[in-house]
Amino acid sequence: MLLRGVALLAACFVAGQILGETLGRLLGIQANVGGVGFAMLFLILSQNELEKRGLFHLEMGEGITFWSKMYIPIIVAMSSVQNVRVAFSNGLLALLAGIIPVIACLALMPLLSKLAPKD
């Protein structure tokens, strides 16, 4: 059961990434166009569908949850293999590109809250 969850995740991963690669080819660019996003979409859709039919076993979920908990450690490993020495001179850019979008989006929050239906 556990591996069925991992296999489902792998199936979504493969399908999404191949779709991304294929789109890149079709559009004539050397890029994976949204592969990870497609894969996530597939996982959400297939999980929702399986749950609806009562086929999503708890243990299947555990096989996927393991990987979602490995996500931060993997991101830590990923940041430790980047070319930070060269990036360092652009530290200001990283700082501003982290701060300004937050402020810009926050400014929209009151407006969107007003538009939201009341429960």
Partner 1 sequence: MEYIITFLDKNGLVFAFLVTGIIMYFSEGLSKTLTRGKIPGSAISIFMGLVLAYFAGLQTLGKKGIADIPGFSGFDQMGGPVFRDFAIVSTAMGASFAIIKKTGPIGVLSLFLGVIISFLSGVIIAYALGITDAESLTTIGAGACTFVVGPVTGTALGASSDIIAISIAAGVVKSILVTIGTPLIAPYIGLKTPQSAMIFGGLMGTTSGTAAGLAATDPKLVPYGAMTATFYTGLGCLLCPSVLYFIMRAII
**Closest separation in Å from C-beta 53 to partner 1:** 15
Among residues 2 and 41, whose Cβ is nearest to partner 1? 41
User: What DSSP assignment string belongs to 5-70?
Assistant: HHHHHHHHHHHHHHHHHHHHHHTT-SS--SHHHHHHHHHHHHHHHHHHTT---HHHHHHHHHHHHS
What single-letter amino acid sits at 30? Q
**Closest separation in Å from C-beta 59 to partner 1:** 13
When asked if residue 19 is in the footprint of partner 1 (CB under 8 A), the reply is: no
When asked if residue 26 is in the footprint of partner 1 (CB under 8 A), the reply is: no
> Which residues ranging from 50 to 79 are in contact with partner 1 (CB under 8 A)?
61, 64-65, 67-68, 70-79
Cβ pair 78, 18 in contact under 8 A: no
Find the binder of partner 1 among 26, 28, 53, 117 (CB under 8 A): 117
